[in-house]
Chains A and B, each alone.
Chain A
Amino acid sequence: MAEAIPVVEMRNIKKNFGAVQALCGVDLVLHHNEVLGLVGDNAAGKSTLVKILSGAYIPDGGEILIEGKKVHITSPWDARRMGIEMVYQDLALADNLDVAANVFMGREAVSTRLGPISIMDKHHMDQETQRLIDRLKIDISSVHLRVERLSGGQRQSVAIARATAFNSKVTIMDEPTAALSVAAIDKVLNLVRELKAQGSSIIIISHRLEDIYQVSDRMMVLRHGRKVLECPVVGDLDEFRERVVAYIIGARNDFAGKGVN
């Protein structure tokens, strides 16, 4: 039965910003080794929902279960301790540091502790980073390259690799393909597929329906803070797009499993 317990379950999540109801009771389920696409128009509540899961916002109502256990996530560090990693839209990388330093930022490997001073194990970090980028087939010539010298796609790959480097249970990607070239988008999507092949569970937010279509197993549509569609990703792209867009813009609103208000 262990297989049937979802890795993440969010129930009846509510969040208000002042008088604005950003989320009015949304459910989200993510199974093991599944890629869930999350779409919706601007201000539909996608980012708010994942920011609640990653600890950036605290919900006004509802509950979160990680592998069947109820949890309270009150900060990004809480979320990270529980194995939830977020890849931020605006690339949370330090340009002045190299690839290895970015992957290990905030959790540097330590070789010796001298009181308050911890000496880094740089060789270990370099090796591990090299192993990571080899495993994920990321195209970067050296782990010693400064991140500012990488292309947009490479930077996004580093950000994603970093989020998945430490045995995370769930990786959340907020618009990972925004502002990337077509070639770079392909690379990032390949990386998502590679991660799934290696057993990761992923939530991906994107404006680009073709991205969702290409990599997701299942998808859900949010509109005005409510879930208006949840379905497996099947069929051909055009039909898929047409159907999903209708729900995004509110032309259709007949989804049976609509969240309780």
Chain B
Amino acid sequence: MHARRAKMSFIKNAKEIFLQNIRDFGMYIILVVIMVLFTITTKGTFISSRNITNLINQTGYIVVLAVGMTLVIIIRHIDLSVGYLSGFLGAVAAITMVSWHLPVYVTIPLVLGFGVLAGLVNGFLVAQMKIPAFVATLAGWLLYRGALQLATMSKGTIVISNAAFIAICNGFIPDIPNIGILPGVHKLTLILGVLAIILLIINAIRDRRKMQANKFKVLPIIFFILKLVFVSALVGSISWVFATYRGLSLTGVVLLIVILFYNFIMSQTVLGRHIYAVGGNPEAAELSGISVKKITYVVFCSMGMLAALSGIMFASRLHSATTTAGTLFELDAIAAAFVGGVSMSGGIGKVTGSFIGAFVMMSLTSGMNLMGIDISLQYIVRASVLAAAVIFDVAIRNRGK
């Protein structure tokens, strides 16, 4: 009897937890399904360390944009200008290094600064002039497209030869010297992975203790353990995949920093809380003493800075600045954000979700490329995934009401 009742309550709890977090679970399930599917259809090539590492390196510049776009969409705006802004600033980076002979450590802060400046302009148009973001940033889209063509006009493609700059999106973290164990495996990557898992577990336990001390409801212990096991396994297997190729790529490092930083801002700081408040109810936020204008500026400036970073990453990846750099990046970033659970109606979305969203979309491209599926079909499949994600979102929200 007891065992049966315990089992019943387990199932009931599981169902409740699943329903409460259906969007997060749904996304992870989709990701796992896609990865398993492609692993089977490509006979293992898809899941190979080499392919996954390349996938991360190719997704990097979209993920960075998607993170910024997440914040923009959370406060109910959109930024269409960031694709060509990214391309243009990549060209600016190339010119400062190739033509002006400025060193990398000057070039990168300079270009990031230009990005913030571009964001300031968008912020001014949207927050100060009250121009709808769609129109204001569409103007930016045209402007930066023109600027990019102007910048690359004389040479067509500006080839970058600076090794440090190229390393950003092609390099890997160094390894500790070989000590005889695990030959061929990148040991520093593994060590970092283990450290990350330990930190995650300590953090989760500390948080749970604090919640319990204050008599707040926490996950039943069995689910808490299951969650920790799942997350640890995920982090562990990702580190293993990296470690068996060439270790953690520098793109991976950049992404980790960006995602962890933005996730921290959005979930732990007053600024993040204010961004969500402005997205949820701008009038209420304003009445509560939050300056909607200031938040709008901050969000567009962060978007501009991330567009600059994205431009640097793309130029680094290609070893050059090209006339077409940044084409359609903004739409890929927007799609990634929506697949990752950001809502057009504002106030809803997570930075980590958008990362997974970008990863899902890029996995689709990579997997279908490996399978040799025609590009036209690829678009249709990606369209279906995007539509399905949004339909799923709307369905959940309506059920909640």
Interface check B216, CB cutoff 8 A: yes
Q: In chain B, residues 230-253, which have Cβ atoms closer than 8 Å to a Cβ of chain A?
A: none
Residues of B within 8 A of A91 (CB): 284
Q: A119-B268, A120-B273 are in contact. Are A107 and B289 (CB under 8 A)?
A: yes
Beta-carbon contact of B290 and A106 below 8 Å: yes
Interface string of B346-365 (1 = CB under 8 A from A): 11100000000000000000
Interface check A214, CB cutoff 8 A: no
Complex: A122 Cα to B207 Cα, angstroms: 11
Residues of A within 8 A of B99 (CB): none
Interface string of A57-75 (1 = CB under 8 A from B): 0000000000000000000
Beta-carbon contact of A94 and B281 below 8 Å: yes
Output the residue of B268, B279, B288 with the most chain A CB within 10 A: B288
From residue A156, how far is it (CB to closest CB) to chain B in Å? 14
Beta-carbon contact of A96 and B285 below 8 Å: no
Beta-carbon contact of A119 and B269 below 8 Å: yes
Q: In chain A, residues 94-140, which have Cβ atoms closer than 8 Å to a Cβ of chain B?
A: 94-97, 101, 105-108, 110, 116-120, 122-123, 126-127, 130
Beta-carbon contact of B400 and A149 below 8 Å: yes
Q: A97-B277, A148-B400 are in contact. Are A117 and B288 (CB under 8 A)?
A: no
Q: A107-B289, A127-B214, A148-B400 are in contact. Are A94 and B269 (CB under 8 A)?
A: no
Beta-carbon contact of A93 and B281 below 8 Å: yes
Interface string of A129-162 (1 = CB under 8 A from B): 0100000000000111000110000000000000
Residues of A within 8 A of B285 (CB): 94, 105-106
Beta-carbon contact of A92 and B216 below 8 Å: no
Beta-carbon contact of B284 and A77 below 8 Å: no
Residues of B within 8 A of A6 (CB): none
Beta-carbon contact of A95 and B281 below 8 Å: yes
Residues of A within 8 A of B217 (CB): 142, 144
Interface check B287, CB cutoff 8 A: yes
Beta-carbon contact of B265 and A117 below 8 Å: yes
Complex: A88 Cα to B284 Cα, angstroms: 9
Residues of B within 8 A of A118 (CB): 269-271
Interface check B4, CB cutoff 8 A: no
Output the residue of A76, A93, A96, A123 with the most chain B CB within 10 A: A96
Interface check B276, CB cutoff 8 A: yes
Residues of A within 8 A of B280 (CB): 94-97
Q: Specify the chain A residue showing the minimal Cβ separation from B280.
A: A94
Interface check A193, CB cutoff 8 A: no
Complex: A76 Cα to B216 Cα, angstroms: 34
Complex: A90 Cα to B400 Cα, angstroms: 21
Interface check B283, CB cutoff 8 A: yes
Beta-carbon contact of A80 and B268 below 8 Å: no
Beta-carbon contact of B288 and A126 below 8 Å: no
From residue B22, how far is it (CB to closest CB) to chain A in Å? 14
Interface check B210, CB cutoff 8 A: yes
Q: Specify the chain A residue showing the minimal Cβ separation from B348.
A: A96
| A binding-site residues for B, Cβ under 8 Å | 76-77, 80, 86, 88, 90-97, 101, 105-108, 110, 116-120, 122-123, 126-127, 130, 142-144, 148-149
Interface pairs (16), CB distance under 8 Å: A77-B289, A86-B287, A92-B287, A92-B288, A93-B281, A94-B276, A95-B280, A96-B276, A96-B280, A96-B347, A97-B273, A105-B290, A106-B288, A119-B270, A120-B268, A130-B214
